[in-house]
Each structure stands twice: as structure tokens, then as C-alpha cells.
Structure 1
Amino acid sequence: MIQIGDIVARKSYEYDILFRVIDIKEKEGEKEAILYGEDVRLIADAPFSDLVVIDEREKKKREEKEKQHIEQCYKLLRQDYRLLREKSEYEATGGYEVKMDFFQLPGRVLHIDGDPLYLRKCMQLYERIGVPVYGVHCHETDMPDRIIPLLEQVRPDILVVTGHDAYSKSKGSVDDLKAYRHSKYFVQTVRQARKKIPNLDQLVIFAGACQSHFESLIRAGANFASSPARVNIHALDPVYIVSRVSFTPFMDRVNVWDVLRNTLTGEKGLGGVETRGVLRTGMPFRTIAEQT
């Protein structure tokens, strides 16, 4: 018997995605599970008859494959970061050969996530990369009301608004915002944020989840959003995008393709507009010991 918390896959989709059962309901006499993607930001529902509980062996096999993919993207991101740091060091010292100590202030992130488990995964990766972040778990429907107080409290350079989403063909065309589970709340949240901080370079925004209405999010004022081809995006994709922005000097522009190539989803699931970086470099760097 399927229970809340079980990891399952759908027969009708050839077991392509692993889901976590977060709720169970009864529909027309048949039990139905509400599902959250384990690694993709997708919310779905399925009858019990379409679900198979994944055993530990298969789960570990997929986790190992996923871990390898994440490590590959992480290495690319670290490589880019080293290049950006070398460039910043060269510019900060004016190209002089004499060694000069300097410090860097990467952009601060406010990450609002509709899924507490995804938020935890993202916070771990932010910490590993070295991005300063303030994380908040908030249901998607509550985000528009909470965004302004959070912006005033945290004063971030970068805002992430994400969680779960899904497009339902039965509810309308791909152009109809009403056909999406949470896109309208992401759009409302971005609009509220832009009323507070209109400049796209003063507050860089990533918004959206799996299959989200990309065009509406960009029009609302997001710098980066999902999902241009209405495909699923990986749970960690927002982290890869905003980390690149966080470590790009504020005098440089972030090339959209350079950002997307290090994500787990790519240009079908993510897109954006040309944006300035937010990293600032200063000098001299003085330790506490030197000051005393």
C-alpha cells in the first residue's frame, strides 16, 4: 500500500521521474496520490494504479547517477569562478605584478522556496559554493504577500522565487496563465518585488519552477525564469544561475548562454535577459591580527 513519504514512479511515463508522495486523496472511488518530484520541480497527481514504489536498490542507483551529474556541473561552475576571480584580481591590482591583498563581496541571495526539502538541498549547495544566502520556506500561494517584508528585512542583491509548478493541458492553452498550477503566484511575487525595486540590475530575480509560464515571468520583471519549452527543471538549477551572477563583477555583464550551460536543464528549461553581475572587489584586506 502506498503511503505518504514513499518514493514512487509512474508506469504511464515509463518510470522517468522519481516522485515523493506528499498527500493522498480519493477521486471517483479511486485513491490518488499528490506527487512532488524528487529532483525536478514538478507537482503532479496520479492514481494508485499508475504508481510503483521504488525499492532502495533502484533509488540508490538513480541517486548515484544524479550525484555524478551534479558534480560535473559543480566543477564547471568552480572553473568559471576561478576565471572570474583571476580577472577581478588583475583588474583590482591594475595588472601590476606586485602582490596586493583584496577582498570580495559576492551578491547576497534571498531564496524563497515552496518545498522545504528542495530549499535544504539548495542551501547546502550555496554553502558549498560560497554564496551568502538567506533561505525561506513559503507556500507558493503566500509568496506575493510575504515578498515585500522579506525584501526589507534581508535587502538582497538577488532574489529566487521558486517551488513547484505544472502545466495542465485540460485547463487551457500554453499561453493561458490559468492553466498553470503556481505560475500566477510567481508572477504576482515578481511584480510586487519590482514595485519595490524596479531596476533589473539593482535586484536580480530568478523565478519559476517546472513547466512555468516563462514569458509572463520575464514580462513581470524577472531577469531569469523557467520554462521556455515548458519542460521540467532540476531542483538545483536556480542555485547555478544565481551563483554565476553572485560571482560576476558588477562592471561585467552576464552572458545568458554562459549561465545556462552550467545548469542541469539547459536552454529548454531556463532563459533570461542580459544582466549585470553583483560582485564587488575592495582593498586592502586586513586581518584582525593586523588591525590589533
Structure 2
Amino acid sequence: MKLVVGESVTRISYQHDMLFRIVEIGQGTAMLAGEEMRLLADAPLEDLQVVSDIDKRKRRQKGKEKEDVSYRLFRQDAKLMKKRNEYDATSGYEADDAQFFEMRGRVLHLDGDAFYLQRCTELYERFGVPVYGVHLEEKKMPEQIESLLEMVQPDIVVITGHDAYLNDRGNQDDLRAYRHTKYFAECVRIARRYCSHRDELIIFAGACQSHFETLIKAGANFASSPERINIHALDPVYIAAKVSRTSYKDAIRLWEVLRNTITGEKGVGGIETKGVMRLGMPLKQEHT
């Protein structure tokens, strides 16, 4: 069976552990992008096996179950935050006519994968988080990020796509051994020159197996991947949405935000950070 771009496959040598999409076919090899994980890998064509529709559905159903757990946790936290905001807006008094609105943080989301960007945008919309999404090849992100920051004026910027640690190119502390960490780090440095205060512009950077320490040192508030593991395509959204919907007066509880991700603290981490949401009164029709 001839393999084609867009085909869903697994790798025989890795015991079919992950579902991939073929994004490019070369001389005897294929470039693969993870269906659920933000991993970019290459493999010999003979090592690939096409996934049947039945197997694909089963794998996607398992992935959806994990996503549903994170979504429920996020919604529980959102309800608690809503009650706290109501209390703060009325100074603890019960007032039926005291209605307020929330100015949630605006997200600029740069993604190296158009398929992931669409999924992320849909989840932002479910969370009620304003987002401006841009699909850019990771290598081109540093060229574009400053103009995008000036145009969008975001409160939160997400810089993600695909990455991978290649152990045949060096040890885990050698940035040359990572596909795209250096581009993510350069974007973070540019964004920090644009806004140096870590509570005025919140940055998430990284993808699967990215060099966490480099991204944090460059100026990111949150990054992947502390244990150099694969992260889920939607993990950046859960972190950005939590920041967007948390009051600027409140610090983000790190364990709380990390437990809401699908991968957890082995895949994503960060530093103490405040939220960016602000309450307003009175509630007018145009604010709904």
C-alpha cells in the first residue's frame, strides 16, 4: 500500500505507541506529526503501518476520555472562580441588581500545526477566552512575533507547535539536539523585550520534549517539558485559559493549573504568576 501525506500511521519499531499523521514524504522516509501529542518525528517508510478506521476511532476515544477529565476539572475551577468574583464585585453583600462583567485576558496563539491550532481555537471558544490564532512554521515565528504582538496587544502569548529531542545529536542539555526549542526560546526573548514584566505579558512556550529550563530562563512563565516527555496538543490552552480567567489580584496556584492539563507536571511547568482578568460594572448589553 502506497503511503500518502495525511495518512494516519503508527511506528512498528515503537510498538505502535502513538498515532501520527504523515506531513511529508522524502526518499525512503516520512516526517510525522503526532495526532494528539506535539511531537515531530521522522521514520523509514518500511517502519510505518497504516492505522485502520476502527483502530483510529478506538485511539481517539481514549484520547477524548483524557481530554474530558481535564475539561471537567477546568469547569469546576471556573465555577469556584465565578462565585469568588461575584463576592468580590459586591464586597460580600448580596445584591440582586449588582451585575458585573469579566474582561478576560486576550490570547495570541502561535502554532506550528494548523490542525492543532483549529482544535485549540475551538477549546478557547468553549472556555470563553478571546484568542487570535496564527499558524506559522516554527522557524518563521521569530520573524513575525514582534509585529503580531504590536497588532494584537495580547495579555497572554502561546508559542507552540512541534518539537523533539534527538539523542543522536547531543545530550539533553545541548540545544542542537532539539528540533525547535531554539526558535521558541528566541520568540520568548523577543516577547520579553517587548514587555519585560512577567505579570503584564504571560508567556507559554514549548511543545513535546522541549528544553524547559532554556524557555523559562528566556522569560517564559510556563513551558514544556520538565521531564522531556511528550505533551498533549491542548495542554497550552488549559494553562492560557486558566490565566485568562483568573483575577489580576490572584496568583495562579501552580499545582492547580498543572493538574488541569492532560500531561501534568512532568510535561509542563512554570513559575509563580498572577492572572489577568478584571471585573467591571455595570453590566451592559454590549458586554455580554
Which secondary structure state, in structure 2, belongs to the residue aligned with residue 266 of structure 1? coil
1:37 pairs, out of 34, 38, 58, with 34
Match of 1:46 in 2: 43
In 1, Cα distance between the equivalents of 2:95 and 2:45?
68
2:248 pairs, out of 250, 260, 264, with 250
Give the residue type in structure 2 aligned to 1:193.
A
Which secondary structure state, in structure 2, belongs to the residue aligned with residue 12 of structure 1? helix
How big is the shift at 1:69? 1.5
Alignment of 1:260-271 (within 5 A): 260-271=258-269
Match of 1:55 in 2: 52
Alignment of 1:54-93 (within 5 A): 54-93=51-90
Match of 1:23 in 2: 24
Alignment of 1:79-118 (within 5 A): 79-99=76-96, 100-118=98-116
Alignment of 1:131-210 (within 5 A): 131-210=129-208
Give the residue type in structure 2 aligned to 1:169.
N
TM-score normalized with structure 2 length: 0.97
Match of 1:4 in 2: 5
How big is the shift at 1:49? 1.6
Match of 2:270 in 1: 272
Instruction: Tell me the alpha carbon deviations over residues 165-198 of structure 1, each in whole angstroms, 9 at most, x when there is no partner.
Output: 0001111110011110000000000000000100
How big is the shift at 1:75? 1.0
Give the residue type in structure 1 aligned to 2:215.
L
Instruction: Tell me the alpha carbon deviations over residues 83-120 of structure 1, each in whole angstroms, 9 at most, x when there is no partner.
Output: 01110110110000122111111100000000000000
Which secondary structure state, in structure 1, belongs to the residue aligned with residue 21 of structure 2? strand
In 1, Cα distance between the equivalents of 2:13 and 2:259?
31
Structure 1 unaligned segments of length 5 or more: list them: none
Which secondary structure state, in structure 2, belongs to the residue aligned with residue 276 of structure 1? coil
How big is the shift at 1:67? 1.4
TM-score normalized with structure 1 length: 0.96
Which secondary structure state, in structure 1, belongs to the residue aligned with residue 24 of structure 2? strand
Which secondary structure state, in structure 2, belongs to the residue aligned with residue 243 of structure 1? helix
How many pairs does the alignment contain? 284
Give the residue type in structure 2 aligned to 1:278.
V
In 2, Cα distance between the equivalents of 1:286 and 1:215?
45
1:236 pairs, out of 234, 237, 246, with 234
Which secondary structure state, in structure 1, belongs to the residue aligned with residue 189 of structure 2? helix
2:213 pairs, out of 212, 215, 228, with 215
Give the residue type in structure 2 aligned to 1:39.
E
Give the residue type in structure 2 aligned to 1:172.
G
In 2, Cα distance between the equivalents of 1:213 and 1:41?
14
How big is the shift at 1:286? 2.4
Give the residue type in structure 2 aligned to 1:279.
M
Structure 2 unaligned segments of length 5 or more: list them: none
How big is the shift at 1:287? 2.7
Which secondary structure state, in structure 2, belongs to the residue aligned with residue 40 of structure 1? coil
In 2, Cα distance between the equivalents of 1:8 and 1:123?
25
In 2, Cα distance between the equivalents of 1:114 and 1:212?
14
Instruction: Tell me the alpha carbon deviations over residues 207-235 of structure 1, each in whole angstroms, 9 at most, x when there is no partner.
Output: 00000010000000000000000000000
In 2, Cα distance between the equivalents of 1:114 and 1:274?
27
2:283 pairs, out of 282, 285, 290, with 285
In 1, Cα distance between the equivalents of 2:116 and 2:203?
18
Give the residue type in structure 1 aligned to 2:251.
R
Give the residue type in structure 1 aligned to 2:63.
E
Query: Which runs of at least 4 in structure 1 moved beyond 3 Å after TM superposition?
Result: none
